Amino acid sequence: MTRDPSADSRISAEDIRRRKGGVPIVCLTAYTYPIARLLDPHVDLLLVGDSVAMVLHGHATTLGASLEMMIAHGQAVMRGSARACVVVDMPAGSYEASPAQAVAAARRIVKETGCQAVKLEGGVDMASRIAAIVTEGIPVMGHIGLQPQSVEKDGGYRIKGRTQDNIAALLSDAEAVEEAGAFSVVIEGTMEAVAAKLTRHISIPTIGIGASADCDGQILVIDDMVGMTVDRVPKFVKEYADLRGVIADAAARYAAEVRNRAFPGPDHVFTTASAKDKT
Ligand SMILES: Nc1nc(=O)c2c([nH]1)NC[C@@H]1CN(c3ccc(C(=O)N[C@@H](CCC(=O)O)C(=O)O)cc3)CN21
Ligand SMILES: CC(C)C(=O)C(=O)O
Ligand SMILES: [Mg+2]
């Protein structure tokens, strides 16, 4: 049940673009209908990240995400959100080959999910893909710095902007993404001072993750933020809740009550004496 998909009350990519330098833009990932329902009132932007392949599907890296996977989760998030700008990650292998491949994948994502924008990883090297998608009328969010889809090429998740060469490359990437027409850009896993410098250097909003409080907005993976991630969480994550603990405790109490026959109790079964049956 998509809530009012045509309503212009939904935050657009252009609305996000206009928020450069203003109140920080609040972003989180979302992969499912119930989480989209819960987060939508609190955030400006929901990202259906390809991190879904790791966080929900148990793949070792985001390279396990497919176009079909991203579309299925994008549809679920759109059904649960009414207000946020919804952005869907383009998975590895769906846009690198050519601008034409990128346009075909972006069109399919938007057509099948109704999302507001797509995101892809890369700077100077992927600027032609961004420009081609934007020309089709589909807003694009960039993603520079630490690019998880390049984890095999980089030999791990390495923080960027530690050397002068690296800083110059990041500045070129930020410029290229802006010039290609992106409405905003994620800056992931960079030295703090570099993220702040990139934010001042370009006129589109920067969304930081493991970056800097001086970015124009912040994003985290929802499961990390609520303490649901079972694998090691990156250093930059702040856990605002302990859902692992809440779920483990609930499972332990349920298991004990099933074993000692305390569950189901009188309120959880149908008998002629129970009020529930009189409806
Ligand atoms: N659950 C989850 N949350 C994330 O934020 C996230 C993922 N998964 N998977 C894809 C990427 C990978 N992320 C990461 C993971 C680790 C570091 C990190 O701590 N890097 C250290 C160690 C590098 C190394 O081992 O070589 C660094 O100093 O670079 C950074 C970003 C962020 N992304
Ligand atoms: C964390 C963000 C930026 C992301 O790309 C993802 O979740 O896939
Ligand atoms: Mg991603």
Distances (CA, A) of 159 to 107, 112, 209: 32, 35, 11
Range of the domain at 271: 246-278
pLDDT in tens, 203-239: 999 999 999 999 999 999 999 999 999 989 999 999 9
164 and 200 housed in the same domain: yes
If asked whether residues 117 and 154 sit together in one domain, one would say yes
Residues 194, 105, single domain; the answer is: yes
Q: State the catalytic residue, choosing from 152, 178, 188, 257.
A: 188
Verify that 72 and 129 share a domain, yes or no: yes
How many domains are there within the chain?
A: 2
**What's the DSSP call for residue 148?**
G
Q: Do 191 and 252 belong to one domain?
A: no
In a shared domain, residues 23 and 134: yes
Cβ contacts of residue 78 below 8 Å, gap of 6+? 2, 5, 36, 86, 113, 114, 115
Structure tokens at 270: 């149908």
Query: Is residue 274 classed as helix, strand or coil in its secondary structure?
Result: coil
Q: How confident is the model over 259-270, as pLDDT tens digits?
A: 999 999 999 999
Q: What is the CATH number of the domain that holds 36?
A: 3.20.20.60
ipTM of model: 0.94
Burial degree of 33 (CB within 10 A; 0-12, 13-18, 19+)? middle
Q: Choose which residue among 25, 51, 223 to substitute to test ligand 2 binding: the one with the highest number of ligand atoms within 8 A of its C-beta.
A: 51
The answer on 261 and 192 residing in a single domain is: no
Active site annotation includes 188:
yes
Give domain status of residue 4, yes or no. Answer: no
